[in-house]
Copies of this chain bind each other. A is one copy, B any other.
Amino acid sequence: MKEELTRQSIQLFERKGFSSTSVQDIVDSLGVTKGTFYYYFTSKETLLMDIHLRYIDDLVARQKKVLDSNESCRNQLTKIVEILIKDIQTQGSNVRVYFREMRHLSEENSSVIKNKRRMFHLTIEKIIKEGIEKKEFRDNLDPKMTTFAILGVTNWSYEWFDPSGNISSKELASMYMDFILHGIDLKGE
Protein backbone atom coordinates (compact mmCIF):
# COMPACT_ATOMS: atom_id res chain seq x y z
CA MET A 1 0.00 0.00 0.00
CA LYS A 2 2.74 2.46 0.96
CA GLU A 3 4.50 1.49 -2.23
CA GLU A 4 1.38 2.04 -4.25
CA LEU A 5 0.68 5.39 -2.65
CA THR A 6 4.19 6.49 -3.51
CA ARG A 7 3.94 5.32 -7.08
CA GLN A 8 0.65 7.06 -7.72
CA SER A 9 1.85 10.22 -6.02
CA ILE A 10 4.86 10.41 -8.28
CA GLN A 11 2.64 10.22 -11.33
CA LEU A 12 0.38 12.95 -10.03
CA PHE A 13 3.17 15.18 -8.79
CA GLU A 14 4.76 14.97 -12.20
CA ARG A 15 1.60 15.86 -14.01
CA LYS A 16 0.18 18.57 -11.79
CA GLY A 17 2.99 19.53 -9.47
CA PHE A 18 3.32 18.88 -5.78
CA SER A 19 1.25 21.77 -4.44
CA SER A 20 -1.48 21.31 -6.96
CA THR A 21 -1.86 17.65 -6.14
CA SER A 22 -4.05 17.13 -3.12
CA VAL A 23 -3.96 14.17 -0.81
CA GLN A 24 -7.51 13.68 -1.95
CA ASP A 25 -6.30 13.33 -5.55
CA ILE A 26 -3.81 10.71 -4.47
CA VAL A 27 -6.17 8.54 -2.50
CA ASP A 28 -8.96 8.89 -5.03
CA SER A 29 -6.67 7.53 -7.72
CA LEU A 30 -6.26 4.39 -5.63
CA GLY A 31 -9.79 4.11 -4.32
CA VAL A 32 -8.77 4.40 -0.67
CA THR A 33 -9.46 7.05 1.94
CA LYS A 34 -7.41 9.88 3.32
CA GLY A 35 -7.04 8.08 6.63
CA THR A 36 -5.08 5.42 4.82
CA PHE A 37 -2.67 7.98 3.46
CA TYR A 38 -2.01 9.36 6.91
CA TYR A 39 -1.57 5.92 8.30
CA TYR A 40 1.48 5.52 6.09
CA PHE A 41 2.80 9.05 5.89
CA THR A 42 2.83 11.59 8.66
CA SER A 43 2.43 14.40 6.14
CA LYS A 44 2.41 15.19 2.47
CA GLU A 45 5.92 16.51 2.85
CA THR A 46 7.14 13.26 4.37
CA LEU A 47 6.03 11.52 1.22
CA LEU A 48 7.89 14.03 -0.91
CA MET A 49 10.99 13.55 1.19
CA ASP A 50 10.67 9.78 0.77
CA ILE A 51 10.59 10.21 -2.97
CA HIS A 52 13.63 12.44 -2.92
CA LEU A 53 15.67 10.25 -0.63
CA ARG A 54 14.85 7.12 -2.51
CA TYR A 55 16.10 8.54 -5.77
CA ILE A 56 19.22 10.34 -4.65
CA ASP A 57 20.39 7.49 -2.41
CA ASP A 58 19.99 5.02 -5.22
CA LEU A 59 21.74 7.33 -7.65
CA VAL A 60 24.69 7.93 -5.36
CA ALA A 61 24.98 4.19 -4.81
CA ARG A 62 25.12 3.53 -8.53
CA GLN A 63 27.63 6.32 -8.97
CA LYS A 64 29.82 4.74 -6.33
CA LYS A 65 29.77 1.45 -8.19
CA VAL A 66 31.04 3.23 -11.29
CA LEU A 67 33.78 4.87 -9.30
CA ASP A 68 34.86 1.57 -7.80
CA SER A 69 35.22 0.06 -11.25
CA ASN A 70 38.56 1.82 -11.68
CA GLU A 71 38.06 2.31 -15.37
CA SER A 72 39.41 5.30 -17.31
CA CYS A 73 37.91 8.67 -16.48
CA ARG A 74 36.33 8.87 -19.86
CA ASN A 75 34.64 5.52 -19.34
CA GLN A 76 33.50 6.43 -15.87
CA LEU A 77 31.98 9.63 -17.16
CA THR A 78 30.32 7.77 -20.00
CA LYS A 79 28.75 5.33 -17.58
CA ILE A 80 27.38 8.09 -15.42
CA VAL A 81 25.89 9.85 -18.41
CA GLU A 82 24.35 6.55 -19.48
CA ILE A 83 22.85 6.06 -16.05
CA LEU A 84 21.31 9.52 -16.09
CA ILE A 85 19.86 9.18 -19.54
CA LYS A 86 18.56 5.68 -18.94
CA ASP A 87 16.83 6.84 -15.79
CA ILE A 88 14.57 8.93 -17.99
CA GLN A 89 13.18 5.73 -19.37
CA THR A 90 13.04 3.68 -16.21
CA GLN A 91 12.04 6.30 -13.69
CA GLY A 92 11.49 9.55 -15.51
CA SER A 93 8.52 10.71 -13.43
CA ASN A 94 10.39 10.11 -10.24
CA VAL A 95 13.35 12.14 -11.41
CA ARG A 96 11.26 14.98 -12.73
CA VAL A 97 9.61 15.26 -9.33
CA TYR A 98 13.07 15.16 -7.80
CA PHE A 99 14.23 18.02 -10.01
CA ARG A 100 11.19 20.22 -9.65
CA GLU A 101 9.74 19.88 -6.20
CA MET A 102 12.61 20.17 -3.78
CA ARG A 103 11.42 23.65 -2.96
CA HIS A 104 8.49 22.16 -1.10
CA LEU A 105 10.65 20.40 1.43
CA SER A 106 11.24 22.07 4.76
CA GLU A 107 14.52 23.86 5.32
CA GLU A 108 15.81 20.89 7.26
CA ASN A 109 14.84 18.24 4.78
CA SER A 110 15.94 20.14 1.75
CA SER A 111 19.39 20.68 3.19
CA VAL A 112 19.74 16.93 3.60
CA ILE A 113 18.96 16.45 -0.07
CA LYS A 114 21.15 19.34 -1.11
CA ASN A 115 24.11 17.76 0.63
CA LYS A 116 23.61 14.50 -1.16
CA ARG A 117 23.26 16.31 -4.47
CA ARG A 118 26.48 18.12 -3.77
CA MET A 119 28.25 14.86 -3.12
CA PHE A 120 27.05 13.51 -6.44
CA HIS A 121 28.29 16.65 -8.10
CA LEU A 122 31.66 16.57 -6.37
CA THR A 123 32.26 13.02 -7.47
CA ILE A 124 31.87 14.02 -11.09
CA GLU A 125 34.14 16.98 -10.49
CA LYS A 126 36.73 14.55 -9.13
CA ILE A 127 36.52 12.44 -12.26
CA ILE A 128 37.05 15.53 -14.42
CA LYS A 129 40.05 16.59 -12.33
CA GLU A 130 41.57 13.17 -12.50
CA GLY A 131 40.93 13.05 -16.24
CA ILE A 132 42.82 16.28 -16.66
CA GLU A 133 45.75 15.01 -14.63
CA LYS A 134 45.83 11.78 -16.55
CA LYS A 135 45.74 13.75 -19.78
CA GLU A 136 42.43 12.26 -20.81
CA PHE A 137 40.76 15.67 -20.82
CA ARG A 138 41.92 19.13 -21.83
CA ASP A 139 43.87 20.95 -19.14
CA ASN A 140 42.17 24.32 -19.53
CA LEU A 141 38.84 23.15 -18.15
CA ASP A 142 37.29 24.46 -14.95
CA PRO A 143 36.20 21.16 -13.34
CA LYS A 144 33.29 22.67 -11.48
CA MET A 145 31.81 24.57 -14.40
CA THR A 146 32.42 21.65 -16.68
CA THR A 147 30.52 19.39 -14.35
CA PHE A 148 27.61 21.80 -14.42
CA ALA A 149 27.76 21.87 -18.22
CA ILE A 150 27.65 18.08 -18.44
CA LEU A 151 24.82 17.83 -15.93
CA GLY A 152 23.01 20.53 -17.88
CA VAL A 153 23.15 18.41 -21.01
CA THR A 154 21.87 15.30 -19.27
CA ASN A 155 19.42 16.77 -16.79
CA TRP A 156 17.75 19.02 -19.31
CA SER A 157 16.81 15.92 -21.23
CA TYR A 158 14.18 15.29 -18.59
CA GLU A 159 12.34 18.29 -19.95
CA TRP A 160 11.86 16.95 -23.45
CA PHE A 161 13.27 13.50 -24.15
CA ASP A 162 10.71 10.84 -24.95
CA PRO A 163 12.38 7.42 -24.77
CA SER A 164 9.52 5.86 -26.69
CA GLY A 165 10.21 8.07 -29.69
CA ASN A 166 12.57 7.72 -32.64
CA ILE A 167 15.74 7.86 -30.66
CA SER A 168 16.50 5.34 -27.94
CA SER A 169 18.05 6.33 -24.65
CA LYS A 170 21.13 4.36 -25.63
CA GLU A 171 21.50 6.41 -28.78
CA LEU A 172 20.91 9.67 -26.95
CA ALA A 173 23.52 8.83 -24.37
CA SER A 174 26.05 8.08 -27.06
CA MET A 175 25.23 11.25 -29.00
CA TYR A 176 25.63 13.24 -25.84
CA MET A 177 28.95 11.68 -24.92
CA ASP A 178 30.15 12.60 -28.37
CA PHE A 179 28.95 16.17 -27.81
CA ILE A 180 30.55 16.33 -24.38
CA LEU A 181 33.86 14.96 -25.59
CA HIS A 182 34.26 16.73 -28.89
CA GLY A 183 31.87 19.67 -28.99
CA ILE A 184 30.34 20.80 -32.22
CA ASP A 185 33.32 22.44 -33.84
CA LEU A 186 34.91 21.01 -36.96
CA LYS A 187 37.98 19.04 -35.96
CA GLY A 188 41.36 20.64 -36.48
CA GLU A 189 40.20 24.04 -35.50
Interface residues of A (CB under 8 A from B): 16-17, 19-20, 74, 100, 103-104, 128, 131, 135-138, 141-142, 145-146, 148-157, 160-161, 167, 172, 175-176, 179-187
Contacts and interface: CB of A to CB of B under 8 A. Distances in A.
A179 B148 CA distance: 11
A183 B186 contact: no
Given A19-B17, A145-B172, A145-B175, A185 B153 contact: no
A175 B19 contact: no
Main secondary structure of the interface of A (DSSP, over half): helix
How many copies make up the complex? Answer: 4
Contacts of A145: 167, 172, 175-176
30 contacts: A17-B17, A17-B19, A19-B20, A20-B104, A74-B185, A135-B186, A136-B185, A137-B184, A137-B185, A138-B184, A141-B179, A141-B184, A145-B172, A145-B175, A148-B156, A148-B157, A149-B175, A149-B176, A149-B179, A152-B152, A152-B153, A152-B155, A152-B156, A153-B153, A156-B156, A181-B184, A181-B185, A182-B182, A182-B185, A183-B183
